[in-house]
Structure 1
Amino acid sequence: MSDTFAFYNVTEENMTLQDVISRLKSFIRKDPRSVYVLSIGTDSHVHYKETKFITAIHLHRVGKGAWGCLKNYILPRPITSVHEKISTETALSQELAYSFITLYLGELTDILIPFSDEGADFSFEIHLDIGRKGVTKDLIQEMTGRITAMGVEARIKPDSYTAFSYANRYTK
């Protein structure tokens, strides 16, 4: 995930992670009295000769819109194991989340601290493309355990919209 210019959305391309952080800060500064949920999630799609992964960053200003961006990762082979596919999705989300935890979450929450008595709030989550139905149900404990071990809230379907909805839209 170390590509210098890797993030994009419907209005911008070739954003660095630092560009993304600037966009997130700007979005928060426009309404610092709101509740924010920052989530990271990855989805994938197996193609004939490769597996395409999309990792999404989604900042939800609860009840008032959102800002998001995406990052592609192509594995030059098809993945046939559900465990390997979900484990790789989880690892890509963890890698990006680690950058936020160690470098950027403090910068984002510092914007909101002066407004905490006026309703400002912030939470950070990793959204996993797994759920209690289907073949991924057996992976819930392992994958959520990896996330919670980082000190981050893990969300699964139907609450993991960043992975199964936003990122999924761009994997095909």
Structure 2
Amino acid sequence: MPTDLGLSFQNLSQKHMSFEEVFKHITQFMEKDAAGNYYLMFGTDSQVHANHTIFITGIVIQRKQKGAWACIRKVVIPRQMTNLHERISYETTLTEEVVSLFTEERKNQLIDIVLPHIYQGASFAIEGHIDIGSENRNKTRIFVKEMVSRMETLGLEPKIKPESFVASSYANRFTK
């Protein structure tokens, strides 16, 4: 059984959370309203600084129009990662690493929370948010197909800009 690889997560109210603690928060959040519409979303953003590059992976469980619970994982690479493809690819790798902690068994535990309420409109979806866009002005557009297929391989619904807010907005604010 996979461990959490010693990964540490945090949010504004808690530091040094294990993956087990993160998963517990997610299940408790969903159990408060088992008939809700839930989106479990993952995304990573990065920022190049003078001597290092900061990567932030966000995990967000959102109950549509009724709030969310979120946390981040921070990774610092001790060099400037200026190659755009390398950075986007590593962002996707870090997202994949966190998503891999959500085994089939764990995903089924989350699905089982809403399953009895499906006929009352409950739902559960998992999305992979990628900080790239397909518009002509976007330098990352040439990587869209590659990164989207990586998210699809994990069984995630891929989202790119402007819909990829976990990567481009939530995680982004912690990279500065």
Normalising TM by the smaller chain, what interval?
Answer: over 0.9
Residue equivalent to 1:140: 144
CA–CA distance in 2 between the matches of 1:28 and 1:9? Answer: 18
Partner of 1:29: 31
Distance 1:93 1:154 in 2: 12
Cα distance in 2 between the residues matched to 1:157 and 1:14: 30
Over aligned residue pairs, what C-alpha RMSD do you find? Answer: 1.2
CA deviation after TM superposition for structure 1 residue 150, in Å: 2.1
1:125-161 deviations in whole A, cap 9, x for unaligned? 1100000231001110111111112222110000001
Letter in 1 for 2:49: H
Which of 6, 20, 28 matches 1:3?
A: 6
SS for the counterpart of 1:139 is: helix
2:173 equivalent to 1:169: yes
1:6-49 CA-partner distances (Å, limit 9, x unpaired): 11111111110000000001100111111000000000001111
Q: Distance in 2 between matches of 1:71 and 1:117?
A: 35
Structure 2 residue runs without a partner (length 5+): none
Gaps of 5+ in 1: none
Q: In 2, distance between residues paired with 1:13 and 1:138? A: 37
Q: Counterpart of 2:100?
A: 98
TM-score normalised by the chain length of structure 2:
0.93
4+ residue runs of structure 1 moved beyond 4 angstroms? none
TM-score relative to the length of structure 1:
0.95
